[in-house]
Amino acid sequence: MDNVSLENRRHSLAHLLSAAVLELFPGAKNSIGPAIDSGFYYDFDDLKISDADLPNIEKKMREMVKSWETFTEIPVTVDEAKKIFADNPYKLELIGDIAAKGEKLTLYYSGPESGVPSSHDSLFILHNSSFIDLCRGGHVTNPKKDIPADGWKLDRIAGAYWRGDEKNKMLTRIYGLAFSGKEELQAYLKQRETAGRNDHRKLGKELKIFTFDDDVGPGLPMWLPNGTVIIDELETLARKTEAAAGYSRVRTPHIAKESMYTKSGHLPYYEDSMFPPMEYEGGKYYLRAMNCPHHHKIFAAEQRSYRDLPLRLAEYGTVYRHEKSGELFGLMRVRMLSMNDAHIYCAEEQFADEFRAVNDMYLRYFKIFGIEKYQMRFSTHDPKRLGEKFVNEPALWEKTENRVRQALTESKIPFVEVPNEAAFYGPKIDVQVWSAIGREFTLATNQVDFAQPRRFNLTYTDREGKPQTPLVIHRAPLGTHERFIGFLIEHYGGAFPFWLSPVQVKILPVSEKFLSYAKTVHEKLKDQNIRSELDESNETLGKKIRQAKLEKIPYFIVVGEKEAAGKTATLESRDAGKIGMLPIEKLFAALK
């Protein structure tokens, strides 16, 4: 790509989109329009359009950009800005916010160089070939030259609450795609088409993995038998992995008294993400939104010494989050989550080894699931927001973040550092992974907590018999069932590996005459702990085979006259095609 920033191109196109919409629909009010990962968008009020209007808007954009030769910054006062946007409540709100922060107010003119306003008074005279917007900057120098005509297109229309708050008015959002050229745009469209075929919501319904129901409530998934098999297999894997790593399993309640969440600090910092309390026996109870306070209580249930550390407590704990309705998305954003959670209580000198061991566990899981591209996002605190967003322990923040940074560096795991995104009680790592089709997911988390052990007065006695406060590592390598299975559905395109497939083998009798023999094979497969399903329909063999392939079952077995007579079965693989006729005992051995 040339030296023009792709983000600046995208931001410039957002301005161009707004200019075209306001010219075609003079009654519309523009609000905000940032660059995003795949392009840009702009939100409008008083704009009633459909996707059918997009070609006309795009045509207008392509006409206008031919005369856009510059983006020019124009500093203005608060009064000047309010005068210019007097009839736009969204811009006025933004102006008020910027002024309250004491930041500089700037407008950006786009259009012919000859049209740049010569004075503030001329800002009020707008021509069809130019546009002025409230903006901090970040544009191309010459739109006419710097935006490739074949690298962008308008994409779709959606609804969006003003500032993402469902209490605010719903606006009309127009999305556009923008890349450095035609090839990159076409590659993205192809990837998105594949992602559409692999969408976990679509495949989850087709493969009967999960469902939602209005009477149960939005964001509350119900796992069907096929989905429950996947959950059971993942839990089995996690139990075996954690047992080998020295974890002890625990179980804790789904609700707790208000006093526990006040003590943990979650209520002051996290209350908006928790469900409203229940009044019961003169007190308040909350659905748990996190497992850590319960595990801290288990640590505190008995006296601990340095000989007990590190203590690793693990639980697939179900938690409940008050996610906004507009942010719910299939299994990726839900209100009930079953989390592969654990808390490691350790002495300071044990921290580095324990933290590295957790990262090694991530890497083993990546290998099992064929995750080849991944990155750790190391989230740190903002010193300016101590006591507001983060616990006010500056020395502990610095000390703990340095430990995590050093452990990541020594592990040689790729990571990026992101300021102002830590948990309120300590730094955290979000694990970013990319599926086989190139989609990025935030899969799991690994956090360090130096605050809650003090809040809960957690202590252990050291070798000298003195009380010490342990460090706590929160980790969830497989994230939640919901998000991880959503990821796996898309990663595998619904074609799960044999060990994870809800149905591993389907038996297809050629006709009803061989149903009895097929049932015998079916029972023997079940005796071998192979998840088998028998197709007893009256359909033709060809249709049965097509159905088995649609269900993405790893293997299917055909039994007919020859197979029944010879006590054999013809085995065919979803991935490798026809394998051939095998004696039953060899068939079992091959599948095992």
Which residues sit in the known binding site for Zn(2+)? Answer: 292, 343, 474
As a whole number of angstroms, the distance between CA 320 and CA 220 comes to 9
DSSP letter string, 95-130 = HHHHHHTTPPPEEEEEE-GGGS-SSSGGGG---TT-
Helix 6-24 with 54-65: angle, nearest 10 deg = 110
For residues 392 and 386, the answer to whether their CB atoms sit within 8 Å is: yes
C-alpha closest to that of 146 among 100, 188, 178, 98: 178
Phi/psi of residue 365, each to 5°? -65, -40
SS3 231: helix
Return the residue matching tokens 């990546």.
Answer: 366
Neighbours of 18 (CB within 10 A): 23
**Residues forming a β-bridge with 170:** 161
**3-state class of 78 per DSSP?**
helix
Taking the C-alpha atoms of residue 357 and residue 362, their distance in angstroms, rounded to an integer, is 9
Detail the residues annotated as belonging to a binding site.
292, 343, 474
Reduced to 3 states (helix: H, G, I; strand: E, B; else coil), residue 161 is strand
d(CA 462, CA 305) in angstroms, rounded, equals 6
> Is the distance from CB of 45 to CB of 90 less than 8 angstroms?
yes
Distance, in Å, from the CA atom of 258 to the CA atom of 274, rounded to the nearest integer, reads: 11
CA distance 478 to 338: 10
Rounded-to-integer distance, Cα 302 and Cα 57, Å: 68
Cα–Cα distance for residue pair 129/85, rounded to 1 Å: 19
Say how many C-beta atoms besides its own lie within 10 A of residue 438's C-beta: 13
